[in-house]
Amino acid sequence: MTVVRAYNQRTMQKLLIENGWSEVRGGKHIVKMTKPGERPITLPMHKRQDYGPRLTASILRQAGLQ
């Protein structure tokens, strides 16, 4: 298994924006990231804590960054 850096909603959002994704608010604590030709990615809040390694890996995989 590869070592994955810990991300929270805000840092993951910045990473995706740097890689061509744009932000669309999905709800009170949910952020959706969209990119033309790709399925939207939902970034949950997680009570301002870091995402777990499996959720981080899943989001990165959906974004094509892993």
pLDDT of residue 4: 61
> Which strand (E) or helix (H) includes residue 11?
helix 9-18
Give me the CATH number covering residue 45.
3.30.920.30
Q: What pLDDT digit, counting tens, does each position of 12-57 carry?
A: 999 999 999 999 876 777 889 999 999 999 998 878 789 999 999 9
**Domain region containing 19:** 9-63
In a domain, 18, yes or no: yes
Confidence band of 1 (pLDDT split at 50, 70, 90): very low
In a domain, 25, yes or no: yes
Tally of domains in the chain: 1
In a domain, 4, yes or no: no
The pTM of this model reads 0.84
In a domain, 16, yes or no: yes
